[in-house]
Amino acid sequence: EGFSSVKLFLSLYRFQACVYFASVFQSMSCGIHYLASVFMAVTPNFVCGFPGNVSSVLFHNSSASSIEDIWTLWTSTENYIVVQLENGEIWELDQCSRSKREVSLDLAYEYTGNKSVFPCADGFLYDDTKWKSTVVTQWDLVCDREWLAKLIQPMFMLGVLIGAVIFGDIADRLGRQRVIWFTSAGQFVFGIAVAFTFDYYSFVIVRFLLAMVSSGYLVVAFVYVTEFVGIKARTWASMHVHAFFAMGIMVVALVGFLVRTWWVYQIFLSIATLPFVLCCWMLPETPFWLLSEDRYEDAQKVIDTMARWNKVSTPCKVSELCSVQQDDLASGQMGDNDTSSTKKHNILDLFCNWQIARRTITVWLIWFTGSLGYYVFSLSSVSLGGNEYLNLFLIGAVELPCYIIACIAMDKLGRRNTLIPFLILSALICVLIMFIPQDFNILIILANMAGKFCIGVAFGLIYLYTAELYPTIVRSLAVGSGSMMCRVGSVVAPFCVYLRSVWIFMPLLLVGIMALLSGILTIMLPETLGKPLTNTLVEATEMGRKKKSCSEKTPPAHSGAALEKIEMFGQETVNTDK
């Protein structure tokens, strides 16, 4: 049924298909910038610089004429290099300090005499065998400045959080089209600007702005494609926006493998989606937003254009849509007082009683865990051993089938019955990885791919499940607050990855605990598959307690019959099956 829905979408809705693929193509850029730092902010092997010209280098029992020949032998940060300068001085070079031997007789690795310790006043020497330049080597973000390097990804994710809030609100006020234009151009402009920043602080500021527009585009793109795609293909279309994001991660791995200078790498990543930036101005505003703003003539023009592309001879008229909408609103006024649009709702309504409060806490935990696990598996992939570029590529590629499985399972087994096993399975995989010997690189990579697959299913599913768990009057609030918890998880994820320095399995342990707890609490959530959307908090509270009668009223929403007519473009019957 899912694949047939997609085929129906592509065959009947040519206009929507073009708009959809154009919009989600730019989502790759979001995936690119979200994960770009995994290679751009790499810290290679390094030691203190020395004051003078070197004549010989000694590392354990190996000698060389230059330090570049020693890096292949470097195995631990606890190692040090002994160098003899042309003036006869012998220095021991550690990572964050250097020592001058008082007695410079024979060049030997072990020395028990007196030494004078000095700071790294002459800078640092970096291993450039893999990366010619990174932001760490550019601005010496090591030793006492290491914390600045560790702030790069969290600051980006903070920009993601703020951008989602700001541009989501702007899109409701000024329209989806304008935000799509601005954020698309912003990703290109700020992406290129990052490559030409002159110091660390300007780099972080420009990346923060880049994060805001990237997040803004991703949030608005979900709304944009949802408002253009018909009911039958909506689940598949919205889920596979994530798939294009994953393709962006794969692009990062490919460009990282080919380009080893960070600013050139950033430029290549930024121009990857340039074709969309050049043509995004052709994307139309959604009829839904135009109708909400009473711009009926503009809405009619878009509808007529859609009808011509889709070869519909009798496109629906705005006047007919308005009459249907007015009928819906009139019938809604005869319903319960709880549905009154004059009542304002806030975050406290998500905790109005114990049932709804428990549901909200569980849903927030799933959003947080999904985002935390997603970015922990993604960011940690380059540290698994083996080829880090291939690791990241596979971590991105494994998402493509996971969203197909999620779409099929959620329609066949149900939302809750899909969410529970994948959350618990991801927790078990985290535990399993801890028992795999570190020499089994391939097995570790496969297990991490499996963990990313499971958490990806849960992460993709929670969007729709949240919307179905809450009534009309607080549905947007519930999804918005859940999205905020998701952003909090993405901010915490980089710090969680840094805990590998405390214990290599600490990030996996934290993700496993959160996933297991989320999976257990999900058991108490009601199943929403095949059930009508609720309209009031009372109905939402009763969901799962007893079966609904067929005569139960459904909410008179602006997205009802009038909007269904837009989606079907003048067809004789309007199919409202969910």
CATH topology of domain 350-542: Growth Hormone; Chain: A; (1.20.1250)
Residue 70: predicted pLDDT: 78
In CATH, the number for domain 1-44+132-283 is: 1.20.1250.20
Q: What are the residues whose beta carbons fall under 8 Å from the beta carbon of 35, sequence distance 6 or more?
A: 248, 249, 252, 378, 379, 392
**Tokens for 119?**
């700071």
Residue 344: predicted pLDDT: 64
Residue 407: predicted pLDDT: 84
Only one residue has tokens 């690791």, namely 391
User: Per-residue pLDDT tens for 313-322?
Assistant: 666 676 665 6
User: Per-residue pLDDT tens for 332-362?
Assistant: 444 444 444 445 667 788 888 888 889 999 9
Q: In the sheet that 115-118 helps form, which strands lie side by side, from edge to edge?
A: 62-64, 54-59, 81-85, 90-93, 98-101, 115-118
Residues 238, 243, 246, 247, CA torsion sign: negative
What single letter denotes the amino acid at residue 404? I
Only one residue has tokens 């004078």, namely 116
Nearest-angstrom CA–CA distance, 301 and 46? 62
3-state SS of 69-89 is HCHHHCCCCCCCEEEEECCCC
| Residue numbers in the chain where pLDDT is lower than 50 | 1-12, 329, 332-342, 547-564, 566-578
What single letter denotes the amino acid at residue 512? G
Nearest-angstrom CA–CA distance, 54 and 48? 13
**Tokens for 198?**
């002159």
Burial, 545: exposed, middle or buried (Cβ in 10 Å; 0-12, 13-18, 19+)? exposed
Residue 320: predicted pLDDT: 62
Residue 319: predicted pLDDT: 63
Residue 77: predicted pLDDT: 67
Only one residue has tokens 């940060």, namely 77
pTM of the predicted model as reported, rounded to 2 decimal places: 0.82
Only one residue has tokens 């049932």, namely 355
The CA distances from residue 12 to 234, 240, 304, 567, 568, in Å, are 14, 19, 15, 11, 9
Q: Do the domains at 1-44+132-283 and 350-542 have one common CATH topology? A: yes
Residue 570: predicted pLDDT: 36
Residue 563: predicted pLDDT: 47
Residue 189: predicted pLDDT: 94
DSSP codes of every residue in 546-566: SPPPTT------TTSHHHHHH
Strands 81-85 and 115-118: unpaired
Residue 341: predicted pLDDT: 44
Q: Give, rounded to a whole angstrom, the gap between the first and last alpha carbons of the chain.
A: 12
Say if residues 9 and 230 touch (Cβ distance below 8 Å): yes
391 phi and psi, to 5 degrees? -60, -50
Give the start-to-end residue ranges of the domains of the chain: 1-44+132-283, 46-129, 350-542
